[in-house]
Amino acid sequence: MTGSEHGSRVDALIRSTLDAAGLEYNRRREGVYFVTLPGTKKLQTNCWLIAREHSLAVEAFVCRRPDEAHEDVYRFLLRRNAKLYGVHYTIDSVGDIYLVGRFGLDAVTESELDKVLGQVLEAADGDFNTLLEIGFATSIRREWDWRVSRGESLANLKAFEHLVRPESPHTPGSLTSD
């Protein structure tokens, strides 16, 4: 297959996979898609799918650079990488956290792309609160106190109540388990 035949096949495959999954996306040009994956903890994860001459790249923003406990955050990410399928955590030059993957065009099928997008969503959404707990605990406590002092809603901070009220019933994400 020529490069353009691969590109057209992969472009059609990406589109049909995203349509079948009912995902919101924007096709920027042939083989380049900006996809929005809906979540529950992280309300949405934005993901790029970019077909190149010989590979399909996947890149999803997970969270900005942690404010604190960098070593603990990176330890968590490295341990988590061992359990991920098709993608891995990385950081950019400023320390923002991403999930990335690269696949040979011959290996890209609808089933495989669906699995990889599912893994991106599971990891970004499932690890989000743990990353916030580890890397932004002080900011979360400050935000909690600020909202309480002004009578503001704490609804979207309830998952972090244990950081403010240690006696509250909660099982935080395990930082030491493999």
Distance CA 116, CA 1 (A): 24
**In this structure, are residues 126 and 47 in contact, taking their beta carbons and an 8 Å threshold?**
no
* pLDDT confidence band for 4 (50 / 70 / 90): low
Domains of the chain: 3-68+86-126 (3.30.1460.10)
Distance CA 96, CA 94 (A): 6
| Buried b or exposed e, range 23-43, using 16+ CB within 10 angstroms | bebeeeeebbbebebeeeebe
* pLDDT confidence band for 144 (50 / 70 / 90): confident
The tens digit of pLDDT for each residue in 7-51 reads: 688 999 999 999 999 999 999 999 999 999 999 999 999 999 999
Strand partners, 47: 35, 60
* pLDDT confidence band for 157 (50 / 70 / 90): confident
